[in-house]
Amino acid sequence: MAGLYIHIPYCTKLCYYCDFHFSLNLKTKAAYISALCTEITLQKEQFTNEVINTIYFGGGTPSVLSAAEINTILTAIYKNYSIADNPEITLECNPDDMSKEYCRAVQSCGINRLSIGIQSFHDEELRILNRRHSGEEAINSVHAALESGFSNITIDLMYGIPNQTMDTWKKNLSVVAKLPVNHLSAYALMLEEKTALHTLVKRGRIYIPEDALTVSQFEYLMQWAPKHGFEQYEISNFARNKQYSHHNSNYWNGIPYLGFGAGAHSYLNNTRFWNISHNAKYIEALSKNTIPQEIEHLSTQDRYNEYIMTRLRTMQGVDKTYIRTAFPEAYFRTFTAQMEKLMEEKLVSEYNSHIRLTQKGIMLSDSIIRTLFKI
Ligand code: SF4
């Protein structure tokens, strides 16, 4: 099995915290889609023996695409790749793009999962983030998706938002509890350099909440989730009724994927490669049938670090047998000694030869993962 990722680097408004690759100039969209289709064709040799079980439109804002444009891209994919019978095909959407007509139209193209970037239901928090939608539009978007026939709906929320209190975070989660969504991704807001939010914070116009509040919000989320049918199957991801994201699970399980579009990353055969993060240069290169790419061959140490970093974040955990068989003996010896120490501190536990973070360990996951890295 393998996955495909399609990057749609266009947005209609700048979210203040955003450091992703995107452009607010939609004039090049048609040329970009044409370039994407060329890249999809050029890369097909990479996956001659793979069956694709997930396709993911990420961004940017993929819901700036019309159904006809999505159809064009999916047609190019189906023409060039072998696709599983029931692939998971996800479209990331902004709530205010999601009329019932739009949802029905994208569904008829083959999209069967919607990932809605809500972030908060609280209008003041949305204003601080400079999001396009209101809390009410966010709720309406989920109902529009459901009434259009989507049963596989995930939403994104953020905590650690400036001016967010424990009370408004609890209110956000109480809205989620009543919504017909089967998946939730919740991330702490990261203050990235070169973002508008970073500038506002530096100028003293906005204050980032204390770490202690963000930690308490995450703790509350972990206690809230099981009470409302959500299983925390990865540190930031929660599923109802085992409706895990197959696409993300593929990433965490080291399954190969190809990424198409400006700034998109690919991974296969222990190699990572990524396209230039510049729409005009990407379009220009593809018009000459070349892919503007950089490549990195992963060393044993890189592969080990990546395995630890991704798998320890999942509830599946790190497979000891895999560490013993896939890496040199010295790696396994070091890993075993480190795990004994973490077990004494009750930060990890072992189940069926898999090492998993405990609730206490989850709270310290970043520092634990850092100490386990081979450098
Ligand atoms: S919609 Fe997403 S990619 Fe676009 S500016 Fe907002 S956070 Fe960034």
The full set of domain ranges for the chain reads 2-251, 301-375
Residue 154, CA distances (Å) to 71, 150, 176, 181 in order:
22, 11, 10, 6
Q: If you take atom 3 of ligand 1, which residue's CA is the nearest one?
A: 60
What is the rounded distance in angstroms from the CA atom of residue 211 to the CA atom of residue 227?
A: 25
The contacts of residue 223 (CB under 8 Å, 6+ apart) are: none
Report pLDDT for 375.
65
What values do phi and psi take at 251, rounded to 5? -60, -50
Give ∠ CA 289-40-109 in degrees, rounded to 5: 140
Q: Look up the CATH architecture of domain 2-251.
A: Alpha-Beta Barrel (3.20)
How many A from CA of 12 to the centre of ligand 1?
9
Q: Is the CB of 60 under 6 A from ligand 1?
A: yes
Q: Which atom of ligand 1 is nearest to the CA of 13?
A: 5
CA distance 342 to 101: 52
Q: Give the per-residue pLDDT at 374.
A: 74
If you take atom 2 of ligand 1, which residue's CA is the nearest one?
60
Task: Say if ligand 1 is within 6 A of residue 61 CB.
Answer: yes
Cα 22 to averaged position of ligand 1 atoms, centre (Å): 8
Angle at 270 between CA 75 and CA 34, to 5 degrees: 25
Q: Is 8 in the pocket of ligand 1 (CB under 6 A)?
A: no
Q: What are the pLDDT digits (tens) for 246-291?
A: 999 999 999 999 999 999 999 999 999 999 999 999 999 999 999 9
Atom 7 in ligand 1: residue holding the nearest Cα: 18
247 C-alpha to ligand 1 centroid (Å): 20
Q: How far apart are CA 17 and CA 13, in angstroms?
A: 12
Atom number of ligand 1 nearest to Cα 60: 3
Q: How far is the CA of 371 from the centre of ligand 1 (A)?
A: 32
Q: Which atom of ligand 1 is nearest to the CA of 18?
A: 8
Any ligand 1 atom below 6 A from CB of 196: no
| C-beta 220 within 6 A of ligand 1 | no
Ligand 1, atom 8, lies closest to the CA of 18
Confirm or reject CATH 3.40.630 for domain 301-375, answering yes or no. Answer: no
Q: Which residues of the chain are under the pLDDT cut of 50?
A: none
The pLDDT assigned to 373 comes to: 86
Residue 187 Cβ contacting ligand 1 at under 6 Å: no
